[in-house]
Amino acid sequence: MAEAAWDEDLCTMLDVLDRISGKWAVSILLRTSSGPVRFTELERSLRGISRRMLTLNLRNLERDGLIVRTVYPTVPPKVEYTATEMARELYGSLAGLTSWAVRHRDTVAAAREAYDQRRHIDVPP
Amino acid sequence: MAEAAWDEDLCTMLDVLDRISGKWAVSILLRTSSGPVRFTELERSLRGISRRMLTLNLRNLERDGLIVRTVYPTVPPKVEYTATEMARELYGSLAGLTSWAVRHRDTVAAAREAYDQRRHIDVPP
DNA sequence: CGGAATCCGCTCGGATACTG
DNA sequence: CAGTATCCGAGCGGATTCCG
């Protein structure tokens, strides 16, 4: 039975990968993991993100239950975003990936350089 | 010092995420992890992939040193792809992600459904 | 067999302007 | 303040064709 389930689990994992890929999702999760953060605060925190992309990412993460959106009906409006426990767990399981990335950073860089040089030989024009 | 390094490590990890995101990269790594695989074999294995995308993915993975490309100068030509040890390690550290995905699969699905229903109330074209 | 080249639609993502 | 709406370019990804 452990045999027939592995590609279903693979699919499930690929879904997660898709969910957290994209330039900003992980950074948003990280920033909201340590407590409620307001929209504008996030916008400044993640330097370079556009309003549109911030909104889209927040909506997607909220939809998947990874962050909670809290609206305070004040004037001016105040909205806070907080990562859920589930999201913090997810962030934790990304540690393995970080570890791999750091350990092999140099090897990957070297492989790239070598590959590019090989390719540059036959493309002079 | 552990303070100043965290966002550099985050960047490194985000690079890896980008590298393995996309529809096919992980599946290719998995398929080539258990031994050399030929191009056409891969093409059949990953049902749905186009020639173009397979080639592009293979090139990128090769460039980063995650797979090795071996050409046998025979007629007809024979080319084999094999995941490197580094790649198998990477695949291993994805296990944490898989575990998370499986554990929270239902919760995420429920969150989505709830979110969508909330949204469908006020959008009856 | 193992690609490379071309075409083409779609989505991602940035910039800007407008609203409650 | 916290969005929504709109426009636009760039790149992903599929289908097909051509080549050694």
Structural domains in chain A?
2-122 (1.10.10.10)
Chain B interface includes A18 (CB < 8 A): yes
Nearest-angstrom CA–CA distance, A104 and A45: 28
3-state secondary structure chain A: CCCCCHHHHHHHHHHHHHHHCCCCHHHHHHHHCCCCEEHHHHHHHCCCCCHHHHHHHHHHHHHCCCEEEEEECCCCCEEEEEECHHHHHHHHHCHHHHHHHHHHHHHHHHHHHHHHHHHHHCCCC
Which range has the worst mean pLDDT, A4-13, A93-102, B2-11, B58-67? Answer: B2-11
Residue B29 confidence (pLDDT): 95
Residue B7 confidence (pLDDT): 79
A4-20 pLDDT, tens digit each:
567 888 999 999 998 89
Residue B77 pLDDT more than 60? yes
Helix (H, G, I), strand (E, B) or coil at B40: helix
| Assigned token pair, A61 | 């993460």
DSSP assignment of B85-116 equals: HHHHHHHHHTHHHHHHHHHHHHHHHHHHHHHH
Residues of chain A with pLDDT under 70: 1-5, 120-125
B15-34 pLDDT, tens digit each:
999 889 988 999 999 999 99
Chain A interface includes B117 (CB < 8 A): no
Q: How far is the CA of A62 from the C1' of D7 (A)?
A: 27
Residue A62 confidence (pLDDT): 95
Residue B32 confidence (pLDDT): 96
Q: What is the pTM of this model?
A: 0.90
Residue A4 confidence (pLDDT): 52
Residue B123 confidence (pLDDT): 43
Helices A25-32 and A85-93, packing angle to 10 deg? 120
Residue B115 confidence (pLDDT): 92
Q: CA of B114: which chain A residue's CA is closest?
A: A63
Q: Residue A86: its chain B contacts at CB < 8 A?
A: 104, 107-108
Which range has the worst mean pLDDT, A81-85, B45-49, B115-119? Answer: B115-119
Helix (H, G, I), strand (E, B) or coil at B117: helix
Residue B118 confidence (pLDDT): 85
Chain B interface includes A101 (CB < 8 A): yes
